[in-house]
Amino acid sequence: MSEAKGGSQAVGCIVLLLIGAGVFAWLYTTIWNEQEGEARYEDCRNKITIQEGSAGALFKSFTCTYAKTRSGKILGGTCVHVVTEGPVCQTVYIYNKKSQVVCSDPKFPYAAYDDLCHSTPQ
């Protein structure tokens, strides 16, 4: 009897984990979302610079222009969320996308297109 109870508890835990993962994925895409592309914002009246992942980025979808390595890792970029009123841009929220390539050796601090770290910017 205790084996059947332990097995049903394990199945219950797995089901809860799957439901939790689904809720997390939905919240992540709802609360903070990035898509690659270009957005025009030069004529926006207000430009607000925020930090990537900050509270100012919550509940906004961002369009990002990336510089990438040969393998597709992000070297950096700019992400914007444009707020319009009719055809007029009122506010743009902007943050700089951080590099996914981490160069920890102080002799080679610059990440480059070839997925390697270099001593000078490439």
Q: What is the mean pLDDT of each run of 10 residues along the chain (122 residues)?
A: 58 56 47 84 94 88 95 95 93 95 94 94 88
Total-model pTM: 0.69
97 HSE (CA, 13 A, CB side): 22
Q: Which parts of 1-122 are beta strand (E)?
A: 32-36, 46-49, 60-68, 74-85, 88-97, 110-111, 117-118
The domain segmentation of the chain, as residue ranges, is 33-118
Q: What is the pLDDT of residue 63?
A: 95
Rounded CA separation 115/1 (Å): 57
Q: Which residue has the tokens 């979302």?
A: 33
Rounded CA separation 49/96 (Å): 9
